[in-house]
A and B are shown apart, each in its own frame.
Chain A
Amino acid sequence: MLLFKLCGFALVIFSCAFVGFLKANHLNMRVKKLCYLQKGITRFKELVRLHGGETDRLLDKCFESRPIDYSYLELGDHEIVSGLFEEIGMLDTESACNRCELCLSMLKTKYDEAQKKYRDLGKLYKSIGALTGVFICILLL
C-alpha cells in the first residue's frame, strides 16, 4: 500500500515538474524561433538587394523548412512575419528592403521582450512545477 502511495506521489511531483518544464521550454523556444526568423529575414533582405530572384526561391534559400513554421510564436509575432510576405509582392527593391528592415526591428523588440520573459519566468516555472507537485502531495497526506 505504502509503495503505491509513494509511486503516486512521485508521479504527481514528476507530472507537475514536467508541466513547469514544458512551460519554460515554450518560452525558450519562442526566443529561439524569433532569433531564427530574424536571421532568415536578414538573409532574405540581402538577397532582395542582390536581385537574387523571386520570393519563393529566396524563401527556400533563407529558411530551412517551407512553409515557415510558426509554432511557439505568439499571434503578434506571426502577424509581423506573415504581414511582411503579404505586402512585399508589390514592392520595388528599395521599398522591399525597407519593409524587411521594419519587420526586423519589430521582431527585435519582440525578441528582447521574449528573452526578458524567459529570464524572469523560465526558472520560476520550472521550480513552481516541482513545488506544486510537492504541495499537492502534502495536501493528499
Chain B
Amino acid sequence: MQENKNFNSVLYAVSDRTKAVLERLSATVKTNTIEIRMRLGLPLALTVGTETVFVRENGGAQFFLSNDLFKITKADLEESFRRLCNNSAFAHESEVKNGYIVMKNGSRAGICGNISPNGGFHDISSINIRIAHEVFGSANEIVRNYKNGGLLIAGSPGSGKTTVLRDLVRQLSNGSTGRLLRIAVIDTRCEISGSYAGYTANDLGSNTDVLITEQKAEGLEIALRTMFPNIIAFDEIATVDELKKVSESFYSGVNIITTAHIGAIDELKTRNVTNLLLESGAINQIALLPRIHGGKIRVFDTKELYHNAVV
C-alpha cells in the first residue's frame, strides 16, 4: 500500500479533470504505476512495471488504443505545470531550464515544451511524472559484498540504479558494514534525496550530508574539501570533468560510489567515461543490475573484469 500512497501523493500536481480519472483507477494499477505521462492531445498513459497502459475516461486501464481513452488538453497541461511549480515558475527556473521540476514528495516531473533562453517555459507539450519510491533492502546484495572501496552501480535505463544507490547510501550510513560511514551525496536533480525546501523526503541514513548542485564536478570538490566524508555518492557519471574530480578524491583517500548507464557488461570498456573511470583505479567493485526488476545483482571486482573473468 506504500506505493499506492506514493501514487496519491503526486496527484496534487495534475489538473482536476485528470485527477478525477486517476483517482478512479484500481488499487493494483495505482500500486504498480511508476510514471504518469500526459501528452498534449494524446491519451493519458501510465507506465505500470515496464508496460505502457492507457487510461479510459471511466477510470479503467487498458493496454491498447481505443476511442474512449482520456485525452489530455492544453488546459490540463498548463494547470498541471502551475501546480507542479506551485504557481512559481520563476522559483524553479534552474530546474525548468533542465526540463524537470522536483515535486514535494521527492518525485520528479519531466517537462517538454518550448524553453526560452532566459528559462521561461511555454507551449508545454508533455509532462512525465516519475513517482519516487524507496525499496528498502534493494542493495542488500551489494552491502554483503562491499569491500570498502570505490563502487560503480551499472545497469540499463530503468533498472533501478538510483533506487539501489539510495538504499546503499542509507545502509552504509547507518553502519550496515559494521562501521558508521560518513557519506556526502551530490544530488544534481534531487532524485536521490528527494529534497524539497531543505527537507529530504527519502531516508539516506543518519550519517549522510546532501549537497544539491547542478555542477557535479564542483559539488565533488566542495564535498571533498568541506564535508570530510568517507564516501562521496552521486548519480550518473558522464563527463571528463567529473572524472578528474573523481581521481582527485581517489588520491585524497575518499571512496566514490556512482552509477552508469550500461546496457551490457562489455560496454564498461567500450564507453569512454566508464573505461577511463575504471582505469583511474577509483573503482574497485562493480555492481551489475539485472534487466528485470527482482533479478539478482552481480557484484564483482574490477580486476576480474580486466582478466575477462566476467565478460
The residues of A with any CB-CB pair to B shorter than 8 Å are: 48, 51-56, 58, 88-96
Contacts and interface: CB of A to CB of B under 8 A. Distances in A.
A92 B93 contact: yes
A110 to B, nearest CB: 25
B119 interface: yes
Interface stretch (B80-88, B129-137, B248-256): B80-88
B78 interface: yes
B88 A55 contact: yes
Contact of B88 (A89, A94, A95): A89
B89 interface: yes
Contacts of B122: 90
Contacts of A93: 90, 93, 118-119
B7 interface: no
Nearest to A51: B91
B297 to A, nearest CB: 39
B86 A91 contact: no
In this complex, the interface size class of chain B, counting residues with CB under 8 Å from chain A, is 10 to 19
B89 A92 contact: yes
A52 B96 CA distance: 16
A91 B121 CA distance: 7
A95 B91 contact: no
Given A48-B90, A51-B91, A55-B91, A92 B120 contact: yes
Given A55-B86, A56-B86, A91 B120 contact: yes
A95 B120 contact: yes
Interface string B104-131: 0000000000001011111000000000
A88 B122 CA distance: 13
A48 B90 CA distance: 7
Given A90-B82, A93-B90, A94-B120, 7 more contacts: A53-B91, A54-B85, A88-B88, A90-B122, A91-B89, A92-B121, A96-B90
A90 B93 contact: no
B116 A89 contact: no
Contacts of A51: 90-91, 93
Interface string B24-66: 0000000000000000000000000000000000000000000
A89 B88 CA distance: 4
24 contacts: A48-B90, A51-B91, A51-B93, A54-B85, A55-B91, A56-B87, A56-B88, A58-B88, A88-B88, A89-B87, A89-B88, A90-B122, A91-B90, A91-B120, A92-B90, A92-B96, A92-B118, A92-B120, A92-B121, A93-B118, A94-B118, A95-B118, A96-B89, A96-B90
B88 A54 contact: yes
Instruction: From A56, A90, A94, name the one whose CB has the most chain B CB atoms within 10 angstroms.
Output: A90
Nearest to B197: A53
Contacts of A95: 90, 118, 120
Instruction: From A55, A92, A95, A96, name the one whose CB has the most chain B CB atoms within 10 angstroms.
Output: A92
Interface string B173-187: 000000000000000
A90 B85 CA distance: 9
Contacts of A94: 118, 120
A102 to B, nearest CB: 15
Given A51-B91, A53-B91, A55-B91, A92 B86 contact: no
Q: Which 10 pairs from chain A and chain B are nearest by CB? A: A89-B87, A92-B120, A54-B88, A92-B119, A55-B88, A96-B90, A93-B90, A54-B91, A54-B86, A89-B82
A90 B91 contact: no
Interface string B207-237: 0000000000000000000000000000000
Nearest to A99: B90
A90 B78 contact: yes
